């Protein structure tokens, strides 16, 4: 399935989700509308809503509640982006200025809070305690992941397991929750919910691994952010951890200093070290393994076009260049 075919498969559902998003963004406060509209319409991939929609459709769901819940997970994701960019002092996301660069840090944080609270209003309206349980747990775990990442910044001595734990908390947890909600809204049993949850967790991990590789192999035009941002923020991502373990003394020292100081001053030398040590190949191999685990997790789902789309999404997630 090509990306175009994937998009076409969900076109009507995504239009319905976008309509919910726009309706639920309404606020009497002008600045809330401006900031929320700016970030929501900035061209994101809408992967988390897509997971929820595909999971529900794969299990035969034909109602409309999945549109409301897909908007909820997009609001939660958007709130985390607003807060992330403030914490990371980012200036570019999805190819344009971040909301905090345009509106300021205070507005970004507060509108992120608005989106979180609006998402919980929408959850309540579904009147399903299991929905609340899944999303309340997810938002709590995501917050823990944010704090863990903050603690790991400028620390070159963290292990690969610590790095992966941050990914599973900060990024993969909302993928997992979105996929679980697809099974829940379809009225599937605990086994299907758990299977889709495992799928989402592994897919989300693969997606973030590729994001971390693209920080050293993409370009700002494709990735929508400045190449080398992770290095400048002192984030010890897998490509850097690989150089620390497998590089020569000079390469390891450069990477260690860059992480500790949060500096991209020696970016070109570090990029060369990443390439010569095979760090990007290692990171992509780890992502492909996560994608294989995601595919295996949904082997028991009914065959059909929506299951095929979930399987193909594993390929798209790891073979992308943006």
pLDDT of residue 257 exceeding 50: yes
Run of H or E residues at 40 = helix 30-40
The dihedrals phi and psi of 244, each to the nearest 5 degrees, come to -60, -35
Q: Rounded CA gap, 177 and 298, in Å?
A: 15
What's the pLDDT at 3?
A: 62
Structure tokens at 157: 């001595």
What's the pLDDT at 283?
A: 97
Q: Rounded CA gap, 157 and 241, in Å?
A: 9
Average pLDDT, the chain: 91
- In this prediction, residues 306-314 reach a mean pLDDT of 95
- In this prediction, residues 153-169 reach a mean pLDDT of 96
Alpha carbon 120 to chain centroid distance? Answer: 20
Weakest mean pLDDT among 133-147, 216-230, 293-307: 216-230
What's the pLDDT at 230?
A: 86
Which DSSP string do the residues of 199-251 spell out, in sequence order? HHHHHHHHHHHHHHHHTTTS-HHHHSS-TTHHHHTT---HHHHHHHHHS-HHH
Label residue 95 left, alpha or beta by phi (over 0 means left) and psi (-120 to 50 means alpha). Answer: left
- Tokens 């790891």 -> residue: 318
Q: Where in the chain does DSSP place strands (E)?
A: 92-93, 96-97
Q: Rounded CA gap, 262 and 248, in Å?
A: 21
Over pLDDT 70: what percentage of the chain? 95
In this prediction, residue 227 has a pLDDT band, given cuts at 50, 70 and 90, of confident
What's the pLDDT at 36?
A: 84
- In this prediction, residues 184-210 reach a mean pLDDT of 97
Label residue 307 left, alpha or beta by phi (over 0 means left) and psi (-120 to 50 means alpha). Answer: alpha
Q: Rounded CA gap, 221 and 200, in Å?
A: 28
What's the pLDDT at 226?
A: 66
Weakest mean pLDDT among 37-46, 63-72, 98-107, 248-257: 37-46
- In this prediction, residues 20-48 reach a mean pLDDT of 86
- In this prediction, residues 94-114 reach a mean pLDDT of 87
What's the pLDDT at 97?
A: 84
Label residue 234 left, alpha or beta by phi (over 0 means left) and psi (-120 to 50 means alpha). Answer: left
In this prediction, residue 94 has a pLDDT band, given cuts at 50, 70 and 90, of low
- Tokens 């943006």 -> residue: 322
Q: Rounded CA gap, 312 and 2, in Å?
A: 9
Query: Which position has the higher pLDDT, 121 or 39?
Result: 121
Structure tokens at 82: 């607003």
What's the pLDDT at 296?
A: 98
- In this prediction, residues 276-298 reach a mean pLDDT of 97
pLDDT of residue 43 exceeding 70: no
In this prediction, residue 174 has a pLDDT band, given cuts at 50, 70 and 90, of very high
Q: How many domains does the chain have?
A: 1
In this prediction, residue 101 has a pLDDT band, given cuts at 50, 70 and 90, of confident
**CA angle (148 as vertex; 146, 149 as ends), nearest 5:** 65
pLDDT of residue 113 exceeding 90: yes
Q: Rounded CA gap, 18 and 67, in Å?
A: 9
The dihedrals phi and psi of 138, each to the nearest 5 degrees, come to -60, -50
In this prediction, residue 223 has a pLDDT band, given cuts at 50, 70 and 90, of very low
DSSP at 303 = P
Weakest mean pLDDT among 221-225, 260-264, 291-295: 221-225
Q: What is the per-residue burial (b if ≥16 Cβ within 10 Å, else e) of 287-310?
A: bbebbebbbebbeebeeeebbebb
Residue 131 lies in domain: 3-319
End-to-end CA distance of the chain: 18
CATH number of the domain residue 208 falls in: 1.10.600.10
- In this prediction, residues 190-209 reach a mean pLDDT of 97
- In this prediction, residues 89-116 reach a mean pLDDT of 85
The dihedrals phi and psi of 97, each to the nearest 5 degrees, come to -55, 140
Are the CB atoms for 70 and 53 separated by under 8 Å?
yes
Q: Rounded CA gap, 294 and 183, in Å?
A: 15
pLDDT of residue 222 exceeding 50: no
């Amino acid at each position: 399935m090509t990306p175009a075919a994937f998009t076409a498969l969900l076109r009507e559902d995504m239009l319905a989700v976008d309509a919910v998003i726009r309706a639920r963004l309404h606020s009497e406060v002008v600045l809330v509308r401006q900031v929320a509209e700016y970030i929501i319409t900035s061209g994101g991939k809408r992967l988390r809503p897509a997971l929820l929609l595909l999971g529900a459709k794969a299990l035969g769901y034909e109602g409309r509640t999945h549109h409301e819940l897909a908007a909820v997970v997009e609001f939660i994701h958007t709130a985390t982006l607003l807060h992330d960019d403030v914490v990371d002092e980012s200036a570019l996301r999805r190819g344009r200025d971040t909301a905090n660069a345009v509106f300021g840090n205070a507005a970004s944080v507060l509108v992120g809070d608005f989106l979180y609270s609006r998402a919980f209003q929408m959850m309540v309206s579904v009147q399903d305690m299991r929905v609340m349980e899944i999303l309340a747990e997810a938002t709590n775990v995501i917050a823990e992941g944010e704090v863990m990442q903050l603690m790991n910044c400028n620390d070159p001595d963290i292990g690969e397991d610590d790095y992966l734990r941050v990914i599973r908390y900060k990024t993969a947890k909302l993928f997992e929750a979105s996929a679980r909600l697809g099974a829940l809204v379809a009225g599937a049993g605990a086994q299907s919910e758990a299977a889709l949850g495992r799928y989402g967790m592994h897919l989300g991990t693969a997606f973030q691994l590729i994001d971390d590789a693209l920080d050293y192999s993409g370009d700002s035009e494709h990735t929508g952010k400045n190449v080398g941002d992770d290095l400048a923020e002192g984030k010890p991502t897998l490509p850097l951890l690989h150089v620390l373990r497998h590089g020569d003394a000079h390469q390891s020292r450069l990477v260690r200093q860059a992480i500790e100081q949060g500096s991209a001053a020696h970016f070109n030398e570090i990029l060369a070290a990443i390439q010569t040590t095979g760090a990007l190949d290692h990171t992509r191999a780890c992502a492909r393994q996560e994608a294989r685990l995601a595919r295996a997790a949904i082997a028991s789902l009914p065959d059909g076009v929506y299951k095929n789309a979930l399987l193909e999404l594993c390929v798209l997630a790891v073979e992308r260049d943006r």
